[in-house]
Amino acid sequence: MTSEHWGPSVAVSDDLGKTWEEPDHAPVAFPADTGASLGRVWQLAPGPAEQPDVVYAGAEPSALFKSTDGGRTYDFVRGLWDHPHREDWQPGFGGQAVHTVIPHPTDPDQVTVAMSTGGVYRTTDGGASFTAANQGIKAYFLPDPYPEYGQCVHKVAQHPARPDRFYAQNHHGVYRSDDGGATWESIAEGLPSDFGFPIAVHPHDPDTVYTFPLVADGHRFPPDGRCRVYRSRDAGETWEALDKGLPTGPYWTTVLRDALCVDDADPAGVYFGSRSGDVYGSRDGGDTWVRIAENLPDVLSIRAAVV
């Protein structure tokens, strides 16, 4: 949340949003010696299940914070900020931010982050140090199209039961990693475009993944103006268009990086929202869709869970 007077902050609810606790301090704040100030918090991510009070915050400018008291206070993760690559990280179209934070589901020392621009970085020592993890991800806009870092990764997803399996939607490019992000291979063949923002992995099947392709970075709408979610059931080897119940007329809008998600039901629910203010959901893994809401402001983020 952001106040025009007090700036950005983080509120906490322990009762599924019925009531909120607003701090009397800035819970996410850069140390004075960094010379930086918080632009916004882009991502909040809970830690491993055995650490229920751990929460991570990905921030703008690109930085990572960690809370050990359920999100009420946050510590600055120096290992990422002090990385020698940081001076070369540049803003993407939406800003320079750590927009994706993925704690390992069982190892509290492992965390993967993604930023625009900069790419994917991993820590295996609890944040003391980070390593670039972009091998195989293309940055067509740089002189070296396969650099160590500098990629504009839009979103990364990890399968909870198979944590070495990652998927990434890049600024032109769709990828899979089977070694925890150490190397990536393209899985874009079969999609109508390799540009887009979101990517989400099925909660139970690590081979099933969803994305919403857009034409290109300069044409941020679906190919042919058709509203279609794409699903792969073989880890990106082949793709199928899912549109039963979705709009059949022209659809000239964008689905952003956090506006497509899955729940953990069986069968899994899939949801997405657009910058046109509509929200669609599927109760059968994407086979059929219904409109849940319309005429909303820009839908920037969707989250769903079974409770």
pLDDT at 8: 83
Phi, psi at 29, each rounded to 5°:
-145, 140
Amino acid 6: pLDDT: 62
Contacting residues for 5 by C-beta, under 8 A, at least 6 apart: none
**Cβ atoms 270, 282 nearer than 8 A:** yes
pLDDT tens sequence across 3-27: 655 678 899 999 988 999 988 888 9
- Cβ–Cβ under 8 Å, residues 219 and 250: no
Q: Is the peptide bond before 267 cis (omega within 30 degrees of 0)?
A: yes
C-beta contacts of 265-272 below 8 A and 24+ residues apart: 265/203, 265/306, 266/204, 268/202, 268/203, 268/204, 269/304, 270/200, 270/210, 270/229, 271/302, 271/304, 272/198, 272/212, 272/229, 272/302
Distance from first CA to last CA of the chain, Å, rounded? 25
Smallest CA-to-CA distance from 173 within 124, 219, 217, 221 is with 217
pLDDT at 45: 97
Give the Cα separation of 130 and 91 in Å (integer): 20
The dihedrals phi and psi of 222, each to the nearest 5 degrees, come to -65, 150
Answer for the pair 176, 184: CB distance below 8 angstroms, yes or no: yes
Question: Would you give per-residue pLDDT tens digits along the chain (307 residues)?
Answer: 566 556 788 999 999 889 999 888 889 999 999 999 999 999 999 999 999 999 999 999 999 999 999 999 999 999 999 999 999 999 988 889 999 999 999 999 999 999 998 999 999 999 999 999 999 999 998 999 999 999 999 999 999 999 999 999 999 999 999 999 999 999 999 999 999 999 999 999 999 999 999 999 889 999 999 999 999 999 999 999 999 999 999 999 999 999 999 999 999 999 999 999 999 999 999 999 999 999 999 999 999 988 7
Per-residue model confidence (pLDDT) at position 3: 60
Q: Is residue 122 within 8 Å of 131, Cβ to Cβ? A: yes
Q: How far apart are CA 260 and CA 277, in angstroms?
A: 13
- Identify the residue whose tokens are 């139970």: 204
Peptide bond before 203: cis, by omega within 30 degrees of 0? no
Its CATH architecture, for the domain 1-186, is 7 Propeller (2.130)
> Would you state the pLDDT for residue 61?
96
- Domain positions in the chain: 1-186, 196-307
**For residue 73, cis peptide bond before it (omega within 30 degrees of 0):** no
